Chain A
Amino acid sequence: DAKTTQPPSMDCAEGRAANLPCNHSTISGNEYVYWYRQIHSQGPQYIIHGLKNNETNEMASLIITEDRKSSTLILPHATLRDTAVYYCIVRSNSGGYQKVTFGIGTKLQVIP
């Protein structure tokens, strides 16, 4: 499974865009990039995922580089409720079975 690398923490001013980077340089062709976030003491919440094209939904945008070795999660107008730990993971089916590897994530602090 590909491993991901994220900065341990980031700050973002409220109302500004939060850009969270993720490196997954060993990703293979059939692996998707997923982003989740976890607010303290709750289970992770799905945000967005993609394979190679940029994706957008009501929560965020996902930009994947052409070589797929890195991606960026964009929260267009960060609010205080976006303060959370953000996980970038890659998902594969190894031998038909599901394997998920989470890193330590990025702790995003949105500042008023």
Chain B
Amino acid sequence: KAGVTQTPRYLIKTRGQQVTLSCSPISGHRSVSWYQQTPGQGLQFLFEYFSETQRNKGNFPGRFSGRQFSNSRSEMNVSTLELGDSALYLCASSPWQATNEKLFFGSGTQLSVL
């Protein structure tokens, strides 16, 4: 099985722009979650989608949004980019939402905001 695929791998944007990141989960996985990782804050939960519905959301401003499609692929969007949005954005998939399922992470998208 192919792993979790995130595109693009690297992205450079300027302040005020918007960006869309893509995540393709492992085939058959229905849950996709997103995380932001910065050196100062570590790995922080953004949101989780299951069956095209956002099931949970972390403490991020409304500029961060996402969606999931019927094939379980997910996108996240960040509008009006700020310098502080520079980070590694990771997505993870799992088959279901059960507590005893492991997460499979992609390699992430490294976003730099100039």
Residue positions of A touching B, CB distance < 8 A: 30-32, 34, 36, 41-46, 49, 51, 87, 91-94, 96-105
* Residues of chain B lying within 8 A (CB to CB) of residue A45: 105
Write the chain A residue with the least CB distance to B48: A98
| B15 interfacial contact with A, CB 8 Å | no
* Residues of chain A lying within 8 A (CB to CB) of residue B102: 34, 46, 49
Complex contact B99–A92 (CB within 8 A)? yes
11 contacts between A and B (CB under 8 A): A41-B107, A42-B107, A43-B90, A44-B103, A87-B43, A91-B99, A93-B98, A94-B56, A100-B45, A104-B42, A105-B42
Complex contact A102–B44 (CB within 8 A)? yes
Complex contact A99–B45 (CB within 8 A)? yes
Complex contact B104–A31 (CB within 8 A)? no
Complex contact A30–B99 (CB within 8 A)? yes
Q: Which residues of B from 52 to 101 have beta carbons under 8 Å from A?
A: 55-56, 88, 90, 92, 94, 97-100
A89 to B62 alpha-carbon distance, docked (Å): 26
- The B contact surface, by secondary structure, is strand
| B33 interfacial contact with A, CB 8 Å | yes
* Residues of chain B lying within 8 A (CB to CB) of residue A46: 102-104
| B31 interfacial contact with A, CB 8 Å | yes
In the A-B complex, the 10 residue pairs with the smallest Cβ-Cβ separation, listed nearest first, are: A43-B105, A97-B55, A102-B43, A46-B102, A104-B42, A97-B56, A98-B97, A44-B105, A98-B48, A93-B99
* Residues of chain B lying within 8 A (CB to CB) of residue A32: 99-100
Contact residue among B45, B90, B99, B110 (Cβ-Cβ distance under 8 Å from A44): B90
Write the chain B residue with the least CB distance to A94: B56
* Residues of chain B lying within 8 A (CB to CB) of residue A98: 31, 33, 48, 50, 55-56, 94, 97
| B108 interfacial contact with A, CB 8 Å | yes
| B25 interfacial contact with A, CB 8 Å | no
* Residues of chain B lying within 8 A (CB to CB) of residue A36: 103, 105
A43 to B105 alpha-carbon distance, docked (Å): 5
